Structure 1
Amino acid sequence: MRKLVVTHNLEQELVEQIKETIPEWELIVGKDKEVWQGHVKDAEIIAGWKKGLEEYCLAPNSRLNWLQSWSAGVNSFPLAELESRNIQLTSANGVHAFPISETIFALMLGLTRKIHTYVKNQQTKTWHHANMNLELHEKTVGIIGVGAIGKETAKIAKAFGMKVLGIRHSGKSEEFVDEMYTPDQLDVILPNCDYVVVTLPLTKETKQLFGAKQFKEMKSSAFFINIGRGEIVVETDLIEALREGTIAGAGLDVFEKEPLIPDSPLWEMENVIITPHTSGSTEHYNKRVVENILIPNLKDYLMGKAPSINLVDYSKGY
């Protein structure tokens, strides 16, 4: 019997939807290793990547043909080995557009209107203006990586009357983006941005893309927002830029090492807001992965086609 393993706990309604799509298959669902361990070596499809799975998935007798990631980023996957075994990999890209764009604007607005400062003052019953005088409206935002998250961010930015500059590999224009650029033009847009928002995946090309040079190209009044991956930024350079006033502040959901180490200077900085890699967390996560990605791709797979949604290009790393 053909077998699909989901290494996450799912609501029964979602389990039933998958069963309806593959009524003749054996379906194994559960996040605990005891649930899936005895099945993954026989699974034709696995949805959700867990530490230790490579022991089974990359074994010579593995039957795995397709791996559905439960995350948008796949940089932690053994991509070279998966490619060498011709295993198709699909990501959860697109699931995060609403929650992450909300976090982006929470960080932008929090820094602009000094909400983080007022929360700290509230804890000590301190009534202080904190020299708050900035507005978000009609400013310029640079979105570095205009994918699903970037597009939703651009759409929201227009509600604030913002000018939107974007960067994407193709340079292809996009609704709600006023000017689109390619990655080699990063230095062209940085001096013009009041907010720089990084929504990129981690690849060989994007690793340490932002360092001292890039922060110096930004306005001293600009805010830096990173919800992509921590290793896209040279963290010591970012800390120095924040200390020296090279940039005005940062909203950070991702870091070079996670959890962020207790003695990192970022914890104590007045011009930094930290969230613990939770920008993609949402009550609708599993539903969107299953209904918007897994099941449509499963239908393609059953027809002998390659999955049509979020198929990872191993040469690009996303």
Structure 2
Amino acid sequence: MKKRKLVITQTVSQAHYQSIQEIIPDWDIITGKDSSIWENHILDAEIIASWRKSMAQQCLLEESKLRWVQSWSAGVNSLPLEELAVRAIVLTSANGVHSYPISETIFALMLALTRKIHTYVRNQMTHTWHHSNLSLEMHKKTIGIIGVGAIGKETAKIAKAFGMRVIGLRHSGKPEDYVDEMYKSEQLNTILPQCDYVVVTLPLTKETYHLFGPQQFHLMKPSAFLINIGRGEVISEKHLIQALQEQKIAGAGLDVFETEPLSKASPLWTLENVIITPHTAGSTEHYDKRVIEDIFIPNLRDYVKGAIPRINLVDYVKGY
């Protein structure tokens, strides 16, 4: 009788490997980033941690033994969700591991745009001593957090240290600590005129695709800054560029884009009121540790007991 099999397409520390082995001592555990290590085990894998696009061809076959996928990223829009749903394969995400690094990036971008740090860095490169008309401060301003999940909650908490008024938007409209006013998804246009900073943390779904377009930029204050660390496709990039060029909004801090890497021809590179980071907001020294210890291992304990993994269980209907 063949052993049950777990494939992890990441480099796992010896300590984490041992912790996993203690839970499933009779399983074959295959780990490593190089595809040559795991590609011949995919068809037999009951659990896959860290999905790769190349796996779809085997994992969706009738003879595949796959029952559970643990995504290594918070976003799951790149996975074959419809096919996984049809096969009743459980999917859990890495939602929550990014709350510290991404909230730090959000405030780094907000502060840099407000205090013109990006302008001064450019000036430094040309040895230019210039005030650059610095005048804004962030304290006591209003921040709108579009998508109050783990990242949004941590962002709201930090915002309170700046004495900010926090407006939140979430599908359920359920209240949250550190959020002064919570609205439902359909009320986006109601809150935009109130915000000095609009922070987008949404996943990409059918409902969120191009949620921000000409109407939304028209509703925002000309003095408002937009921060997007969610998914690039949530915002219509051509209309964002137009809004920035026409100064309908004051500036933007962008970590995600409709097409990545961002084209070298994109006007976003040269706009003085834009800061670009290359989809690195979630990068942290603690990433793998948090995925394994906080999500995968607790879920694995549930799974071997016959229960459905409960942490970050993806709802295929919602898409996240």
The residue that corresponds to 1:215 in the other structure is 217
The residue that corresponds to 1:56 in the other structure is 58
Q: 1:247 is matched by which residue type in structure 2?
A: I
Alignment: residue pair count: 318
The residue that corresponds to 1:311 in the other structure is 313
Q: 1:279 is matched by which residue type in structure 2?
A: A
Cα distance, 1:16 vs structure 2: 1.7
Instruction: Describe how 1:93-132 pairs up with structure 2 within 5 A.
Output: 93-132=95-134
Greater Cα offset, 4-13 or 275-284: 4-13
The residue that corresponds to 2:167 in the other structure is 165
SS at match of 1:273: strand
SS at match of 1:94: coil
Q: 2:300 is matched by which residue type in structure 1?
A: L
SS at match of 1:228: coil
Q: 1:313 is matched by which residue type in structure 2?
A: D
SS at match of 1:315: coil
- What CA distance in whole angstroms lies between the structure 1 residues aligned with 2:56 and 2:212? 32
- What CA distance in whole angstroms lies between the structure 1 residues aligned with 2:14 and 2:310? 26
The residue that corresponds to 1:226 in the other structure is 228
Q: Which runs of structure 1 show a deviation greater than 3 angstroms over 4 or more consecutive aligned residues?
A: none
- What CA distance in whole angstroms lies between the structure 2 residues aligned with 1:92 and 1:259? 22
Q: 2:158 is matched by which residue type in structure 1?
A: I
SS at match of 2:54: coil
Root-mean-square deviation (CA), in Å? 0.6
Instruction: Describe how 1:255-274 pairs up with structure 2 within 5 A.
Output: 255-274=257-276
SS at match of 1:133: coil
Please say if 1:135 is aligned against 2:137: yes
Q: 1:259 is matched by which residue type in structure 2?
A: P
- What CA distance in whole angstroms lies between the structure 1 residues aligned with 2:202 and 2:195? 17
Mapped contact 2:53–2:79 kept (Cα < 8 A): no
Instruction: Describe how 1:9-24 pairs up with structure 2 within 5 A.
Output: 9-24=11-26
SS at match of 1:53: helix
Q: 1:229 is matched by which residue type in structure 2?
A: R
- What CA distance in whole angstroms lies between the structure 2 residues aligned with 1:10 and 1:107? 32
Give the TM-score, by structure 2 length. 0.99
- What CA distance in whole angstroms lies between the structure 2 residues aligned with 1:76 and 1:43? 20
The residue that corresponds to 1:180 in the other structure is 182
The residue that corresponds to 1:34 in the other structure is 36
Greater Cα offset, 285-294 or 47-56: 47-56
Q: Which of 79, 82, 87 in structure 2 is aligned with 1:80?
A: 82
SS at match of 1:236: helix
Please say if 1:283 is aligned against 2:285: yes
SS at match of 2:7: strand
Cα distance, 1:17 vs structure 2: 1.6
Cα distance, 1:200 vs structure 2: 0.3
SS at match of 1:296: helix
Cα distance, 1:4 vs structure 2: 0.5
The residue that corresponds to 2:206 in the other structure is 204
- What CA distance in whole angstroms lies between the structure 1 residues aligned with 2:92 and 2:275? 32
- What CA distance in whole angstroms lies between the structure 2 residues aligned with 1:23 and 1:156? 42
Cα distance, 1:19 vs structure 2: 1.3
SS at match of 2:148: coil
How far does the alpha carbon of each residue in 1:182-231 deviate from its partner, in whole angstroms, 9 at most, with x for none?
A: 01110110000000000000000000000010011000000000000000
Cα distance, 1:109 vs structure 2: 0.3
SS at match of 1:143: strand
SS at match of 2:199: strand
Gaps of 5+ in 1: none
- What CA distance in whole angstroms lies between the structure 1 residues aligned with 2:199 and 2:127? 33
Greater Cα offset, 6-15 or 168-177: 6-15
- What CA distance in whole angstroms lies between the structure 2 residues aligned with 1:264 and 1:73? 24
